[in-house]
Amino acid sequence: MDLLEYQGKQYFARYGIPVSPGGVAVTPDEAVELAESLGYPVVVKAQVQVGGRGKAGGIKLAADAAEARAHATAILGMDIKGHLVRRVWVEHASDIAKEYYASFTLDRGAKAHLAMVSAKGGVDIEEVAVEDPGAIARLHVDPYEGFSEPQAWLLVEEAAIDEEARPGAVDVLLSLYRCFVEGDADLVEVNPLVLTPDGRVHALDAKVTLDDNAAFRHPEWAEYELTAELDDRERHARQVGLQYVGLDGFIGIIANGAGLAMSTCDVVNQVGGRPANFLDIGGGASAEVMANALEVINSDASVRSIFINIFGGITRGEDVANGIVTALSRVDIKIPMVIRLDGTNAEQGREILRTVESDMVITSPSMMDAARRAVALAGNEK
């Protein structure tokens, strides 16, 4: 789950990372009230889950109440790369001498944490990575050993952070790592990390991605659900407890097991289709779960055909087939579907599915063949 900037800053603050004082406003009046209490100049910042807000006009400095009102009025309701601005964060503006970059993320390939620091902050780090890769100091951190102060010093020196900012940057890095690990994040990024003319180092922006798998030990994360930008399909799927990720293709996918669901997406891509979603219904494949899955997929207007890919393991083929038949009687499906059933008692299952076969409901024993049929049935875009 991605946090909004202000939530990220509040998260940072818990671990002692310095951030500017500020508050959230949903109306221009509230923004002005906050600005008055913070003292000018203030910066009014659009709270949306997308980078490059500054360039898009979503971040403005205000020297007085009239400016704060004008900026808040302009930014609230603004559309930034398809994200509607519902709230702004108003904070006391900082004087900036230098802008740096710092982050911790997971490097799954290296089975380690990855620290990145650069003296080229405030700009798109992906651009820096392409144009001037040497400007980013990288260090793999063994998750069992953790991140040490000498490593932090190594990074700030290698990144050529200005001498006067180094002690502050080291402190931020150590706190940021604690935030990353103890806070169960997959990504913590500060861009820019600034040096002020009076020599202080603090976080001017915050990007935090929480590891959803750790939600069980963070009841306090529940508040983030309220502002999470899920699309309607994901919200619906979450309500009925499905493992669903919305994608931008046109073949609706239902599979049992995350691995099979991923292979199903791959196979669909391989034969020229594009998956509209990832959906893992888990081991059970009961009628209830199948009906919920079909409902979510059926409500997705971009889906032109459905591919149900089930491999019976502990769950036997006839139970899966009965689940599908019952689900089909409950959900009014208007798009063609291909069902591939294999594994334990697949033959018995297919026998049951024969009762629902039609032009709209096709079965196939092979995954590749089923994928091809699903793509053919999707036809060309209207």
Residues in contact with Mn ion by CB under 5 A are 191, 205
Residue 5's φ and ψ, nearest 5 degrees, are: -50, -45
Among the listed residues 346, 297, 355, 347, the one whose alpha carbon sits nearest the alpha carbon of residue 325: 355
165 binds, among ligand GDP, Mn ion, none (CB under 5 to 8 A by kind): none
Number of residues this chain uses to bind ligand GDP (CB under 6 A) = 17
Least distance from ligand GDP to the Cβ atom of residue 45, Å: 6
Interaction between residue 96 and ligand GDP (CB under 6 A): yes
168 binds, among Mn ion, ligand GDP, none (CB under 5 to 8 A by kind): none
Neighbouring C-alpha atoms within 13 Å toward the C-beta of 189: 22
- Comparing CB distances to ligand GDP, the nearer of 100 and 221 is 100
Interaction between residue 87 and ligand GDP (CB under 6 A): no
Tell how strand 305-312 and strand 251-255 pair up.
parallel
Q: How many whole angstroms separate alpha carbon 337 and alpha carbon 106?
A: 38
* Candidates 44-52, 103-111, 134-142, 229-237; binding stretch for ligand GDP (CB under 6 A): 44-52
Residue 365's φ and ψ, nearest 5 degrees, are: -80, -15
In the residue annotation, 357 being an active-site residue is answered as: no
In the residue annotation, 189 being an active-site residue is answered as: yes
User: E strands along 211-332, which residues?
Assistant: 243-246, 251-255, 277-280, 305-312
- How far CA 104 is from CA of 21, 58, 216, 255, 337, in Å, comes to 24, 26, 22, 33, 43
- Comparing CB distances to ligand GDP, the nearer of 52 and 272 is 52
Among the listed residues 277, 285, 278, 271, the one whose alpha carbon sits nearest the alpha carbon of residue 343: 285
Instruction: Tell me which residue has tokens 């944490």.
Output: 113
Binding mask 192-231 for ligand GDP (x = CB under 6 A): x-----------xx--------------------------
Among the listed residues 359, 339, 360, 367, the one whose alpha carbon sits nearest the alpha carbon of residue 351: 339
- Comparing CB distances to ligand GDP, the nearer of 85 and 93 is 93
- How far CA 364 is from CA of 213, 337, 342, 349, in Å, comes to 35, 11, 9, 12
- Comparing CB distances to ligand GDP, the nearer of 84 and 368 is 84
Tell how strand 112-118 and strand 98-107 pair up.
antiparallel
- Comparing CB distances to ligand GDP, the nearer of 94 and 364 is 94
Binding mask 172-191 for ligand GDP (x = CB under 6 A): -------------------x
The 3-class SS string of 348-375 reads: HHHHHHHHHCCCCEEECCCHHHHHHHHH
Q: How many whole angstroms separate alpha carbon 11 and alpha carbon 211?
A: 14
Least distance from ligand GDP to the Cβ atom of residue 259, Å: 36
Interaction between residue 43 and ligand GDP (CB under 6 A): yes
Residues whose CB falls within 8 Å of the CB of residue 359, separated by 6 or more in sequence, listed in order: 336
Least distance from ligand GDP to the Cβ atom of residue 94, Å: 4
- Comparing CB distances to Mn ion, the nearer of 80 and 377 is 80
Residue 231's φ and ψ, nearest 5 degrees, are: -80, 165
Least distance from ligand GDP to the Cβ atom of residue 91, Å: 7
Interaction between residue 122 and ligand GDP (CB under 6 A): yes
Question: Of these, 54, 282, 284, 343, which contacts ligand GDP (CB under 6 A)?
Answer: 54
Q: How many whole angstroms separate alpha carbon 309 and alpha carbon 312?
A: 10
59 binds, among Mn ion, ligand GDP, none (CB under 5 to 8 A by kind): ligand GDP
Among the listed residues 222, 230, 185, 225, the one whose alpha carbon sits nearest the alpha carbon of residue 206: 185
* Candidates 62-70, 94-102, 296-304, 363-371; binding stretch for ligand GDP (CB under 6 A): 94-102
18 binds, among ligand GDP, Mn ion, none (CB under 5 to 8 A by kind): none
- Comparing CB distances to Mn ion, the nearer of 126 and 248 is 126
Interaction between residue 59 and ligand GDP (CB under 6 A): yes
Residues with a known catalytic role: 101, 189
Contact set with ligand GDP (CB under 6 A)? 43, 45, 51-54, 59, 61, 93-94, 96, 99, 122, 191-192, 204-205
